[in-house]
Copies of this chain bind each other. A is one copy, B any other.
Amino acid sequence: MAELITYRDAVGRALAQEMERDETVYLIGEDVAAAGGVFKTTPGLRERFGPRRVRDTPISEEAIIGAAMGAAMNGLRPVAEIMFSDFLATCWDMIANQIAKTRYMTDGQVELPLVIRTANGAGVRFGAQHSQSLENWAMAVPGLKVVAPSTPQDLIELLAASIRDPDPVVFFEHKALYPTSGPVDDGELVGELGKAAVVRTGGDVTIVALAAMVPKAVAAAEILALQGVEATVVDLRCLVPLDTQTLLKACSQTGRVFTVEENPRLCGWGAEISSIIMEEAFFDLDQPVVRITTDHIPLPSADALEDATIPSAERIVDIVSRTLD
């Protein structure tokens, strides 16, 4: 039986599932406990699992992430929330220099089973410091796994998989997706990191997307279908590990690939994918891989400007159509 739940509620359901199963799973962050999270993703968890396992912190991002790291070194499986992904910058040393490198630098002595959950992305008029899509920051750092689901079902499966994963995971929840809903299976749900989903199949072009860009890519594909262009849409779901097999397969089937990135252009994940396809499937290509991204600017806050800046279904359709002409 599949029930319809929101992406927002999926977060709490995944956490509850894992905290029920494993008493070493803890949740910390600003306002996560008594208030149930500023995005209301974690209500009821404190009541259910107690004020020690679900705990409010001071506004001390370095201490939050450092504490998660130290606790993971000493027997817990912490989930730490960084309220907005933009604030990852305030504890980036902890993430990029400490957490990511420690297992390698100690030649495997230290295991860090921890998850950093964070609200990522634009679309809610919060302006340049509360709207960034920063999956590429994490992808650029060896030693971090990077997950960014687009549906409630994927969110549960992948958050559960992230919590069970023995390696550190940065888990990007898209804040514009919180109110969206989707069907979710009953029972315990656990997915697998590193598997992309082919959410739509079509033989003409492949559109590769992530998180909030997935529904836009699907919407674009539906418009394109009306115009006689059939698109395969790949939801990457994870950037690390990256499911290059699914990508390369879709690429060889259509010969035309478009990436849709919410991040500003330079060094986005689409660049990496473009370069992989270039190196490994060059002769399958009928045309260059085309990147559709947010312009390389900070995000403006006014609704009119924000909407015109982030890739939209219309822009995707427009670029795909013009390329095919």
Q: Does A49 contact B (CB under 8 A)?
A: no
Task: Classify chain A: how many residues form its interface, as a range.
Answer: 35 or more
**Which residue from chain B places its CB closest to the CB of A87 in the assembled complex?**
B93
Q: Does A74 contact B (CB under 8 A)?
A: no
Determine how close the nearest CB of chain B comes to the CB of A254; give it in whole angstroms. 16
Determine how close the nearest CB of chain B comes to the CB of A216; give it in whole angstroms. 20
B104 touches A297 (CB 8 A): yes
Determine how close the nearest CB of chain B comes to the CB of A98; give it in whole angstroms. 8
Determine how close the nearest CB of chain B comes to the CB of A126; give it in whole angstroms. 12
A128 to B271, CA, bound (A): 25
A275 touches B271 (CB 8 A): yes
Task: Please give the count of copies of this chain that the complex contains.
Answer: 2
A298 touches B264 (CB 8 A): no
Point out the residues of chain B lying under 8 angstroms from A97, CB to CB. Answer: 86, 89, 128-129
Point out the residues of chain B lying under 8 angstroms from A89, CB to CB. Answer: 92-93, 95-97
Q: Indicate whether A142 sits within 8 Å of B298 (C-beta atoms), given known contacts A92-B89, A105-B128.
A: yes
Q: Considering residues A137, A141, A275, A282, which has the most beta carbons from chain B within 10 angstroms of its beta carbon? A: A275
**Which residue from chain B places its CB closest to the CB of A265 in the assembled complex?**
B272
| 23 residue pairs from A and B, CB less than 8 Å apart | A92-B92, A92-B93, A97-B129, A101-B128, A101-B129, A104-B300, A105-B127, A105-B298, A136-B140, A139-B266, A140-B267, A140-B268, A141-B264, A142-B295, A239-B266, A267-B271, A267-B272, A274-B274, A275-B289, A278-B288, A278-B289, A279-B290, A282-B288
Q: Does A60 contact B (CB under 8 A)?
A: no
A298 to B108, CA, bound (A): 13
B140 touches A264 (CB 8 A): yes
Point out the residues of chain B lying under 8 angstroms from A271, CB to CB. Answer: 267, 271-272, 274-275
A240 to B105, CA, bound (A): 32
B240 touches A266 (CB 8 A): yes
Task: Tell me which of B95, B137, B274, B282 contacts A137 (CB under 8 A).
Answer: B137
**Which residue from chain B places its CB closest to the CB of A296 in the assembled complex?**
B142
Q: Does A269 contact B (CB under 8 A)?
A: yes
A86 to B271, CA, bound (A): 23
**Which residue from chain B places its CB closest to the CB of A280 in the assembled complex?**
B288
Within 8 A of B (CB), among A256-301: 263-272, 274-275, 278-280, 282, 285, 287-291, 295-298, 300
Point out the residues of chain B lying under 8 angstroms from A79, CB to CB. Answer: none
Contacts A105-B128, A240-B266, A278-B288 given; 8 further ones with Cβ under 8 A? A90-B92, A92-B92, A101-B129, A101-B298, A137-B137, A142-B264, A275-B289, A282-B287
